[in-house]
């Protein structure tokens, strides 16, 4: 499929900006249209490596604004919905804003793609839609069972989007990612929170007893998976994730080690979320069969991520 125009929402966010860079390199000659509301999590400067190119057009706007799409989706071949409210803690405080952006917003994005004849549609989702997985791994056929307002809003979006592939015969892809790490991530998330706490000589706050387990994939590996999937003819659901698991406390201790700080003096345990899934775990065999493979590794990448935050933490105004 010849790709001339790609539309992406949430491109000024953490993962979105890495996906935009990967698309920019992988689809030479294509144009990229980025729609982002620039909430607290999005920054235009995350796109500084590509935004000056005549191939890139940035539009500040809301994915729920139905009127915005007609002009932006003209002759678009592929549309990718990355925009979301993404922080689980916030979803307990303001669940409706999550349903509004993540579910209603995704529905408006989808209908606009259908109306404007976009051929291929990709929804970025999360492994959290499966809910807690104490043992074993979920493959894509596992029933979804979200346990917090964030994951429920993402699961609801998936159900709506995937139901449309029957009536409209669209190429619809859904990608369920596990935790992603890298530069530009907002400090509300574990890794930057640990790093910035130590930069500011504060203790790292860890939820509960810190034993919750998570898998971490680099934003580069995640972006590469997205590019691979949009190039293939396939449709359907794909898990994308890492195969190495860390407890939250292990991540905090690794970061203390790199700062040469004693964990027992630099970590404090704080009140847990109302519900905090102990573990998620996905099988990535399906995407591996397409030729995708995790290349990066959290522990190797932490030093360069720390360097980025040392230079840039002030942009977060925290
Ligand atoms: N961060 C992770 O570990 C992770 C893991 C799996 C899946 N995901 C999914 O990946 C996507 C990106 O996550 P992230 O961590 O980069 O999020 P983020 O919060 O860092 O960025 C979200 C981006 O979306 C934009 N946005 C929010 N609401 C918008 C709206 N109404 N209209 C237009 N733009 C809006 C923000 O301005 C921001 O640029 C989300 O869909 C999330 O559910 C994230």
What is the token pair recorded at 211? 């034993």
Residues 6+ away with beta carbon under 8 Å from 46: 12, 13, 14, 17, 184
CA–centroid distance, residue 309 to ligand 1 (Å): 19
CA-CA distance, 3 to 173, in Å (whole number)?
A: 16
CA–centroid distance, residue 11 to ligand 1 (Å): 8
Mean pLDDT computed over every residue of the chain: 96
pLDDT at residue 261 is higher than 90: yes
Q: What is the mean pLDDT of residues 230-240?
A: 93
Across the strands, what pairs with 6?
Answer: 32, 78
Is 9 inside any structural domain?
yes
What's residue 276's pLDDT? 85
* Count: domains in the chain: 1
pTM, to two decimals: 0.97
Q: Relative to the CA of 101, which ligand 1 atom is closest?
A: 31
What's residue 309's pLDDT? 98
Per-residue pLDDT reduced to its tens digit, 86-118: 999 999 999 999 999 999 999 999 999 999 999
pLDDT at residue 318 is higher than 80: no
Is 74 inside any structural domain?
yes
Ligand 1, atom 1, lies closest to the CA of: 180
User: What range defines the domain where residue 226 resides?
Assistant: 5-183+216-243+279-297
Is 312 inside any structural domain?
no
Is 21 inside any structural domain?
yes
CA-CA distance, 172 to 309, in Å (whole number)?
A: 36
214 falls in which pLDDT band (50, 70, 90)?
very high
CA–centroid distance, residue 261 to ligand 1 (Å): 32
Q: Which residues line ligand 1 (CB under 6 A)?
A: 9-10, 12-16, 36-39, 41-42, 62-64, 82-86, 101, 105, 124, 126, 154, 177, 179-180, 186
Is 253 inside any structural domain?
no
Active site residues: 127-128, 150
Q: What is the mean pLDDT of residues 69-96?
A: 97
Residues 6+ away with beta carbon under 8 Å from 86: 13, 41, 150
CA–centroid distance, residue 102 to ligand 1 (Å): 9
CATH number at residue 47: 3.40.50.720
Residue with tokens 């492994």: 127
pLDDT at residue 2 is higher than 90: no
Is 254 inside any structural domain?
no
Out of 8, 10, 14, 85, mutate this one to test ligand 1's pocket (max ligand atoms within 8 Å of CB): namely 10
pLDDT at residue 41 is higher than 90: yes
What's residue 149's pLDDT? 97
Out of 20, 21, 39, mutate this one to test ligand 1's pocket (max ligand atoms within 8 Å of CB): namely 39
What is the token pair recorded at 239? 């898990």
Residue of 247, 271, 212, 217 whose CA lies nearest to 89? 271
CA–centroid distance, residue 15 to ligand 1 (Å): 7
Is 318 inside any structural domain?
no
Is 265 inside any structural domain?
no
Out of 9, 12, 15, mutate this one to test ligand 1's pocket (max ligand atoms within 8 Å of CB): namely 15
CA-CA distance, 216 to 125, in Å (whole number)?
A: 15
Residues 6+ away with beta carbon under 8 Å from 94: none
For the chain, percent of residues with pLDDT exceeding 70: 100
């Amino acid at each position: 499929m010849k790709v001339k125009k790609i539309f992406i929402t949430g491109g000024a966010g953490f993962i979105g900006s890495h996906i935009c860079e990967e698309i920019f390199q992988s689809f030479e000659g294509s144009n990229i249209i980025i729609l982002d509301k620039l909430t607290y999590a999005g920054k235009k400067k995350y796109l500084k490596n590509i935004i000056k190119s005549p191939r890139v057009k940035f539009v500040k706007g809301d994915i729920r604004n139905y009127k915005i799409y007609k002009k932006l989706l003209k002759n678009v071949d592929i549309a990718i919905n990355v925009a979301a409210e993404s922080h689980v803690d916030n979803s307990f405080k303001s669940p409706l804003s999550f349903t509004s952006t993540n579910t209603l917003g995704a529905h408006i994005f989808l209908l606009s793609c259908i109306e404007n004849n976009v051929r291929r549609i990709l929804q970025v989702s999360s492994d959290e839609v499966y809910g807690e997985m104490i043992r074993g791994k979920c493959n894509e056929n596992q029933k979804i069972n979200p346990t917090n307002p964030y994951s429920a809003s993402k699961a609801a979006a998936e159900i709506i989007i995937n139901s449309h592939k029957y009536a409209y015969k669209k190429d619809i892809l859904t990608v369920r990612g596990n935790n992603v790490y890298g530069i530009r991530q907002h400090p509300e998330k574990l890794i930057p929170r640990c790093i910035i706490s130590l930069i500011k000589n504060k203790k790292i706050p860890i939820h509960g007893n810190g034993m919750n387990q998570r898998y971490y994939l680099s934003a580069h590996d995640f972006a590469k998976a997205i590019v691979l999937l949009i190039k293939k003819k396939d449709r359907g659901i794909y898990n994308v994730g890492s195969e190495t698991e860390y407890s939250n406390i292990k991540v905090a201790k690794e970061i203390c080690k790199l700062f040469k700080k004693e964990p027992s003096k630099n970590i404090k345990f704080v009140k847990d979320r109302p519900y905090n899934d102990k573990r998620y775990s996905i099988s990535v065999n399906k995407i591996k069969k397409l030729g995708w493979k995790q290349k990066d590794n959290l522990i190797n990448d932490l030093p360069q991520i720390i360097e980025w935050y040392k230079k840039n933490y002030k942009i977060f105004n925290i």
